[in-house]
Amino acid sequence: MNYDFLDIKTPKEIQMEIAKNVRKKRKELKLTQEEFAKKSGVSFGSIKRFENTGEISLFSLVKIAIVLDCENELMELFKKKEYSSIEEIINGKY
């Protein structure tokens, strides 16, 4: 693996980026935090805290992903890469 140590994000930065993306998608759907909470089954307080701090349980994040039609993207996290040829494996192109 090739790491660029100058571009490594902290866990908090990653949390906030995810929260920012969720907020943006929620607003694109023209949903208030209250409406989003009802639709997702996640409490209003949790939605508000998530958008402000990036903190949320995985279970609630899954509920949010379903409402935003992003559950497939979430399920792709940490999957092993499928190779299209033996050359990819030999040459380390993954």
pLDDT score recorded for residue 93: 59
pLDDT score recorded for residue 91: 75
Domain that holds residue 81: 1-94
To 10 degrees, what angle do helices 33-40 and 58-67 make?
100
CA dihedral 51, 53, 59, 62 (to 10 degrees): 40
pTM of the model: 0.77
Provide Rg for the chain, Cα atoms.
Answer: 17
pLDDT score of 82 more than 80: no
CATH number at residue 41: 1.10.260.40
What CA–CA distance (Å, rounded) separates 80 from 58?
21
pLDDT score of 42 more than 90: yes
Least Cα distance to 55 among 68, 66, 42 occurs for: 42
Tally the domains of the chain.
1
pLDDT score recorded for residue 2: 54
